[in-house]
Amino acid sequence: MPFYAPDWVPKLPFDVPDSIPINQFILDENFGRHPLGYSRAPFTCGLTGKEYSALEVKERVEFLARGLSKELGFLPNQGTEWDKVIGLFSINTIDTLTLAWATHRIGGIQTPANAAYTAQELEHQLRDSGAKCLFTCLPLLDLALQASKTVGIPESRIYLLNVPEAVAGEKRDGYKTLDQFIAEGQKLAKLEELKWSKGEGASRTAFLCYSSGTSGLPKGVMISHKNVIANVLQMRTFEDPWRKTLIEPGNQSDYTENVLGLLPLNHIYALVVIAHLGVYRGDGVIILPKFEFKSFLETIQTYKIGCLYLVPPIIITMTKSRDVVKKYDLSSVKSIFTGAAPLGEETAEDLQSMFPNWAIRQGYGMTESATVVCSTVPTDVYFGSSGSLMPGIEARIVTPEGEEVTKYDTPGELWVKGPAVTLGYLNNPKATKETFVDGYLRTGDEAVVRKHPKSGHEHIFIVDRLKELIKVKGLQVAPAELEAHLLTHPSVNDCVVIGVPSDREGEVPKAFVVKSPSVGLEESDKMVARDIARHVEQHKAKHKWLKGGVEFIDVVPKSPSGKILRRLLRDKEKEKRRS
C-alpha cells in the first residue's frame, strides 16, 4: 500500500517540463517564476555586500555560456553532455550558480566537489566524471592544481571564481577568471538555443554529485534537468500555502524573503533547495563562504534573513551558546529548515524555547532523490518527524523480508518514486540496479509512519540507517572508503569502520582494527592507534577523520558469506555508551 502527499498539499500546477534545461526554468518568467525585475537580488555576498540582480544573473549566464563555448569548444547542440563536463571545486560564491546555469545553457554537466576535499579525493571525482576543466578559487588553487595534474587536466584549463578578499589569500596571476569569461562573452555572438526534443530534459544529466549510496565508494549520481526542475516545483507547491501566511500583509515583496546560503552549494541540499528553489521563488540568497559563528549571526541580523537553512550541528552550536546568540537581533527570522541528518527532539525543543516564534522545520532527502522527499510544515509541528511527502511522490515502507508495512509505528526501509528520483550511478550498473528498483529508489533509511497525536496527520519518521553511510555534520562519509584506505597502512591487517554518536557532529567515524602481525611488541596500542589515525588525517577531508577513535579487535565479525556484520559492532557500541 503506497502512500502519497496528504490531501492538504496542492497538486503540481503544471506538468514538470521535460524538454528545457534548468537555467531556462529558473530564470525564465514563463515558468511561473517571480518576475525577474521585481525579485530580490538572487545572490548577495554576506561578507562584502556585493550582489547581482536577477536580470544581471540572467545576462551573466548568457555571456558566460558564450565565453565558455569559445574557450572550450562546447557548442549547445553538438556532442552529448558527457563531452562537456565542467568540474567545480570552490567555497560558496555569488557566481557558483551562474557557472552551473551557463554550463547547462551549452548542454553541459557540472560536477561539484566538496570544498573540504583533499587533492586525492578531488582526483577521484575529476577522473570518474571525466571533467574537461576545473573552476576553483584562490584558497583551493593549489589542491586543484595537484589533483588536475594527476588526472591530466592542463593548467590552462584551471579557472578561478571570485571570492571575497577576506578569504582569498595571496593573489595569483595566470588563471582566467569567471569575470574575464563574461567580459569576453559580451563581445561574442549569441549562441544557438538548445534544441531538445520532448523528454530530453528527463534523460540528460545536468549535475553529477557524488554519493556513496548504500555501500562502497562515492559514485556519480546522474541528476537530470527534469529532476531538479521537479523538486523545485514540488517544494514550491508544497510550501506556498503556508509560506504566504508567514509574510506580513501588504508586503510588496510578494512573500519573497532573504534566505541563508551558508551550507555548501556542492551538496544536494544547498544546491537544489537553497539555490534553485530560492532563486525560482524570487528569494535573495545571502552567500557565506564558510561557517564562522559570529559572522553567521551578524549576517542574519544585517540582511534581515527570514529563513535559515541549517544542519543539526549548527543548531546545537546555537543552543549551546545562548549568551552569544542573544547579543544579535534575529527578529527577522520566521523559519528554520534543517536536514541531512536527524535533528534530536531535545535540540528542537531547546531552540524553540530560545525562539518561540520561529517555525522549526525538518526535511529529509538524498542526493539520489534530488532532493526533498518529505518535510514538516509550521502548521503541524511534530519534533523528530520528517513530515509529509512532496506532491508527486509515492512511498512504501518495506521490511527486510520484502513485505510492505501497512501499520503505524512499524519500521521498514523507505522506498520512494517520483519525478526527482535520479537516473542512477555513472558507470556503475550494479549499484544502480541494486538501488533503483522498478522506478523506486531504495533509500537505505529505516522509517516509520506515526499519527500526529493532535492533528491526526500522518508523519514520516526516519528512525535508523540501514545502509553503511556515516553522516558527520550532515556530510557523507563512506565506511568502505576509509576501510580501503586503512588497509594501505602497514599495521592494519583487517578493519571495519562504523559511525558512533557525537553530541556536536551527529556521528563520527570509529575504526575497529585487526593489527598486522608485523606490529612489534614494543609498540604500544596507543602509538599504533595514533599512527593509524594520522594516516587518515594526511589523506582524507577533516569530516572523515577517526574522531570516534581506533579500537583493536582480534577478528572482524563477518557472516558466513563474508559480509561484515556492522550492525553487531554498532549495537555493541551503543550498549557500551549506555552503560
Stretch that binds ligand 4UU, among 13-21, 245-253, 265-273, 431-439 (CB under 6 A): 265-273
- Name the minimum Å distance from CB 383 to ligand 4UU: 12
Question: Whole-angstrom Cα distance, residue 20 to residue 28?
Answer: 11
Q: Which of 226, 471, 473, 540 binds ligand 4UU (CB under 6 A)?
A: 471
Task: Indicate the Cα dihedral angle 431, 435, 439, 441, nearest 10°.
Answer: -140
Please say which residue, 84 or 471, places its beta carbon nearer to ligand 4UU.
471
Should residue 386 be labelled a site residue for ligand 4UU when binding is judged by CB under 6 A? yes
- Name the minimum Å distance from CB 112 to ligand 4UU: 13
Stretch that binds ligand 4UU, among 58-66, 237-245, 438-446, 494-502 (CB under 6 A): 438-446
| Strand ranges in 217-303 using DSSP code E only, listed in sequence order | 219-224, 258-261, 284-287
DSSP-derived letter for residue 341 is S
Over the window 179 to 218, marking each residue x when it contacts ligand 4UU by CB under 6 A and - when it does not, the resulting string is --------------------------------x-------
Q: Which of 148, 256, 362, 491 binds ligand 4UU (CB under 6 A)?
A: 362
Contact 338, 363 (CB under 8 A): yes
Should residue 227 be labelled a site residue for ligand 4UU when binding is judged by CB under 6 A? no
Stretch that binds ligand 4UU, among 169-177, 362-370, 487-495, 568-576 (CB under 6 A): 362-370
Question: Whole-angstrom Cα distance, residue 337 to residue 307?
Answer: 7
Please say which residue, 129 or 148, places its beta carbon nearer to ligand 4UU.
129
Give the DSSP H or E segment for 354.
Answer: helix 345-354
Please say which residue, 157 or 396, places its beta carbon nearer to ligand 4UU.
396
Please say which residue, 26 or 277, places its beta carbon nearer to ligand 4UU.
277
Please count the CA atoms within 13 angstroms of the CA of 415 that sit on its side-chain side: 20
Question: Whole-angstrom Cα distance, residue 338 to residue 336?
Answer: 7
Question: Residue 340 has which C-alpha cell?
Answer: 541531512
Question: Whole-angstrom Cα distance, residue 550 to residue 563?
Answer: 21
Should residue 314 be labelled a site residue for ligand 4UU when binding is judged by CB under 6 A? no
Stretch that binds ligand 4UU, among 338-346, 376-384, 401-409, 422-430 (CB under 6 A): 338-346
- Name the minimum Å distance from CB 317 to ligand 4UU: 18
Please say which residue, 366 or 495, places its beta carbon nearer to ligand 4UU.
366
Q: Among candidates 335, 227, 338, 236, which has minimal Cα distance to 277?
A: 236
Question: Residue 496 has which C-alpha cell?
Answer: 571495519
CB neighbours of residue 180 within 10 Å: 14
Q: Among candidates 479, 484, 482, which has minimal Cα distance to 468?
A: 479
Contact 256, 244 (CB under 8 A): no
Contact 397, 414 (CB under 8 A): yes
Please say which residue, 162 or 476, places its beta carbon nearer to ligand 4UU.
476
Please say which residue, 91 or 477, places its beta carbon nearer to ligand 4UU.
477
Contact 528, 491 (CB under 8 A): yes
DSSP-derived letter for residue 275 is I
Should residue 286 be labelled a site residue for ligand 4UU when binding is judged by CB under 6 A? no
Which residues, 474 to 513, sit near ligand 4UU by CB under 6 A?
A: 474, 476
Q: Which of 175, 181, 196, 269 binds ligand 4UU (CB under 6 A)?
A: 269
| Residues lying near ligand 4UU in the complex (CB under 6 A) | 211, 268-269, 273, 339-342, 362-367, 371-372, 375, 386, 443-445, 462, 465, 471, 474, 476
